[in-house]
Structure 1
Amino acid sequence: MQRGSVLGISFTVTTRERKSPFVRLFTKTPAGVICPHFYELILSNGCPYDCAYCYLRLTFRGKKDPVLYTNRWEKVEDEIRMAGPGVFSTGELADSLAVLPPLLPRAIEYFRTQKDKYLLLTTKSCNTKLFEELSPTRQVIISFSINAPEVASKYERLAPSPFDRLNAATRLLELGWRVRVRIDPVIIEGVQHDNISIYRKICKIVGQLGVERVTVGTLRQYPGLHRFAPSAPRGGLVKAPDGRMRYSLSVRVRTYNMIAEWLGFEPALCKETYEVWEMLTWRYRGCNCTV
Structure 2
Amino acid sequence: MTDTVAVVTGASAGIGAATALELGRRGMHVVLVGRDETRLLAASRAVNEVAPTPSRPVRADFTRLDDVEELSRVLHGDYPAIEVLVNNAGVHTTRWELTGDGHEITNQVNHLAPFLLTSLLWELLSARPGGRVVQTGSLLAEGLDPDDLDRTRHRRAGWGAYKASKQANALVAVRLAGLTGPAGPVPMCCHPGMVRTAFASGSVPYRTFRRAFPFLFQPVETAALALAELATGEDGVKHPGALFNGTKPVRSLKRWRDPVLARRLWEATERALGEDRLGPAHPRVDA
Q: Considering the TM-score relative to the shorter chain, is it more than 0.5?
A: no
- Normalized per residue, the structure richer in strand is 1
| TM-score with structure 2 setting the length | 0.37
- Normalized per residue, the structure richer in helix is 2
| TM-score with structure 1 setting the length | 0.37
